[in-house]
Structure formats: structure tokens, C-alpha cells
Amino acid sequence: MSRWLLRMPFGIFLVVAAVALARAAMPHGMNEHSRASRTSSFMAENAQAMDRMMAAMTITPSGNVDRDFVAMMVPHHQGAIDMALAELKHGKDETLRRMAQEIIVEQQQEIAAMHLASDKLADARPASSIAFDVCTTRPTAPRRMHSPPMQGDL
């Protein structure tokens, strides 16, 4: 194995390997135009996913490291989901498609775990603190928890 390959960061190696596998799996009869069109659509979707992710990860520090970590990591994981969805939509290699499916499941589980941890933080902080919208994974306006009316309150 070449020294260059051994020095290459593992993430870059995975991307290079994924591209090589995808090219090898591409049907030989496919013309350059349809291949370029599929690649163009895939790259556009990935660019949109990256733009959404980077915008959502840009936060104003709250002064609470745990809260800020969740606020930035949730959109980061959602970005991975969006990119994996683009692979499922445009990719043809079955191994990579299975990996994309696994990424989606794993990242959704991690987002759910972060929301649970965030909820635990919310229980320990004032109601004026930040909350997260489960659908968009972006910070939202604070929510106040109301307790159910007591029998004497009715």
C-alpha cells in the first residue's frame, strides 16, 4: 500500500473509496449525459443540504456549553441524513445505499437522544431558555410548561 494512502485521513479515504465504488457500479450502457444529469442533481441536493446545515449550525452562544452543543449537533446530524437521502435517491451501488440507510437510522436515533438530553436540560433551567422544534431541529421561541389544573382550580 502506498505511503500516501496510509497518511490520508480516514474520512477522505472513505469518500474516495465511495466514489470509486459508485463509478464501478455504474451501468456501462449509460451515456455521459444521463450520468452527468444524475451527478448534477445529486451535487445540487448535497449543496442545499450543506447550506441548510451550516446555516442551522450558526448559533449565538447561550453561555451553556451543553445547550450550544445540542443546538449545533442536531443540524449537523440532520445534514448527514439529508445527504444519505440524496444517495438513496441517486445512487446505484447497493452497498452504499445500505450504508446510507444505516446513516439515516443512526443519525435519527442520535438526534432523538440529543432531544431527550436537551429536554433534561430544559427541566433544570428557567422557562425563558432555548427549546428545539422537533421537526426542523432548529432553535425556537421558548415554551412554557403549564401544569394541569388542580381540582380546586376548576
Residues of the chain with pLDDT under 50: 1-2, 4-6, 8, 14-16, 127-129, 132-135, 137-154
Per-residue pLDDT tens digits for 88-122: 999 999 999 999 999 999 999 999 999 998 888 77
Return left, alpha or beta for 137; rule: phi > 0 is left, psi -120 to 50 is alpha, else beta.
left
pLDDT number for residue 100: 97
What is the per-residue pLDDT for 59? Answer: 95
User: What b/e sequence results for 29-53 when a residue is b if at least 16 CB atoms lie within 10 Å of its CB, and e otherwise?
Assistant: eeeeeeeeebeeebeebbeebeebb
Q: Is 63 left (phi over 0), alpha (psi -120 to 50) or beta?
A: left
